[in-house]
Amino acid sequence: MLRIDGVDICLAKVEGRKNCFSSVPFRLTKSRWVADYDVQSCRLCDSKFNQLRRKHHCRQCGDVFCNKCCKDKIILPQYNLMESERVCDSCKPIAVLVAQSISSQPSEQHIAALEINDMLQTSDGIRKAIQFGGMQAIVQLAMIDNIEIRKCLLSAIHTLATYPPLHEYMAITGAIKAVMRNAVCLLANLACSQQDQACLIDYLAILTDLILDYGQCEDVEYQIARCIANTTRYENAAKALVKDLEKIIKYHLKSENEKISCQAERALCNLLSYCPDETIDYLARNGAAEFLKVIAKTPEILKSISSHLKMYARELDT
């Protein structure tokens, strides 16, 4: 239970893991149904129930409504309800958006991201989102590689972060990892440009520290590895990262995740070009001699490294 702008709300609960920063769709715990005999009038329009005005339960909030206020039926995959179920007029907007966030259709995911972000612009919208899976939807949508969706979700997370009572809940659901993943992805993209490299040099120490902080989150770790690989394409950054070779070898090169280890190989090839002595020494001392053997047997890589070294030598002569 949390208090948002003077109103107490129950937080959405997830079956199984609480961290929703995953490609596996989350499932929300169903709300407790309000007993029929406890309710004498519709929760929305306040119309009295009688023999003609029957009671209906909303499958999302569990409260009791008249047919007029609870007539729409939708599929609720977030509750593992795969046939159309009644939802009240109050719950329908967030129920539809959370269902769309789980969809495999990019168009529906995009709509969910846009409209959840819009919903969070009001206190009532925030309460509805937090109570019925909006936070989980935001975190899961952050896994999608779509720049427009990312913009919406980072805006949504920023809005929620302005409410201190939500901070712990955001961390539990994986919102912090979602932010980090997208932030590091942005850095990785910036690292592709030599012009932007100068701006990133000061942040390299922070970047390599993240290797230790997010070692258990492969998606964030992949973006860190990609950022390092892109950064080492340029001499100044490569030289600055040599001191962190031990981390790169231990956590990236030796990773069981092939995508991460592949990015580490890219980084090491670049480092071998600019800082061959230090890189070879680190590789040999940290049990990565096999990587050196592979390189020695790969003419394309040797040619690339040789080309970089010759270019570097020419620069020293001038």
234 SS3 class: coil
Q: How confident is the model at residue 291 (pLDDT cuts 50, 70, 90)?
A: confident
> Residue 198 pLDDT > 70, yes or no?
no
Q: What is the pLDDT of residues 82-100, one digit of tens each?
A: 999 999 999 999 999 999 9
Q: Greater confidence, 211 or 26?
A: 26
The whole-angstrom distance between residue 219's C-alpha and the CA centroid of its chain comes to 8
* Ranges 5-9, 34-38, 113-117: which has the least confidence: 5-9
> Residue 194 pLDDT > 80, yes or no?
no
> Residue 218 pLDDT > 70, yes or no?
yes
Least Cα distance to 134 among 160, 161, 91, 98 occurs for: 98
Delimit the CATH 3.30.40.10 region(s) of the chain. 2-173
Delimit the CATH 1.25.10.10 region(s) of the chain. 180-317
Q: Give the pLDDT score at 90.
A: 95
Q: What's the alpha-carbon Rg for the chain, to the nearest Å? A: 26
Burial 282-317 (b: 16+ CB within 10 A, else e): bbeebebeebeeebeeeeebeebbeebeeeeeeeee
Going from the C-alpha of 179 to that of each of 19, 106, 165, 169, 172, the distances in angstroms are 14, 20, 18, 14, 13
Residues 74/79/81/85 CA torsion (nearest 10 deg)? -40
> Residue 62 pLDDT > 70, yes or no?
yes
* Ranges 158-167, 186-195, 247-256, 309-318: which has the least confidence: 309-318
Could you please state the CATH topology (level 3) that the domain comprising 2-173 is classified under: Herpes Virus-1 (3.30.40)
Q: How confident is the model at residue 177 (pLDDT cuts 50, 70, 90)?
A: confident
Q: Which residue stretches of the chain are H helix?
A: 92-102, 106-119, 123-131, 134-141, 147-161, 167-173, 175-190, 194-200, 204-213, 218-231, 235-241, 245-247, 258-274, 276-285, 289-296, 299-317
Going from the C-alpha of 215 to that of each of 117, 200, 205, 250, the distances in angstroms are 30, 22, 16, 11
Q: Greater confidence, 196 or 241?
A: 241
Task: Take residue 277 and report the two structure tokens written for it.
Answer: 């002595």
Q: Give the pLDDT score at 41.
A: 96
28-32, 139-143, 145-149, 251-255: range with highest mean pLDDT: 28-32
**Amino acid making up residue 255:** S
Q: Give the pLDDT score at 308.
A: 55
Q: Are 9 and 130 in contact (CB under 8 A)?
A: yes
Mean pLDDT, all residues of the chain: 84
Q: Give the pLDDT score at 213.
A: 65
Q: Are 129 and 170 in contact (CB under 8 A)?
A: no
Q: Tokens 């790969």 label which residue? A: 298
Query: Taking residues 122-149, what's their average pLDDT?
Result: 89
Q: How confident is the model at residue 199 (pLDDT cuts 50, 70, 90)?
A: low
Query: Taking residues 65-86, what's their average pLDDT?
Result: 95
What CA–CA distance (Å, rounded) separates 300 from 302? 6
Going from the C-alpha of 226 to that of each of 144, 165, 208, the distances in angstroms are 17, 34, 12
Q: Give the pLDDT score at 126.
A: 93
Q: Give the pLDDT score at 143.
A: 80
Q: Give the pLDDT score at 307.
A: 64
What CA–CA distance (Å, rounded) separates 71 from 68? 6
Q: Greater confidence, 6 or 293?
A: 6
Tell me which architecture the domain covering 180-317 has in CATH. Alpha Horseshoe (1.25)
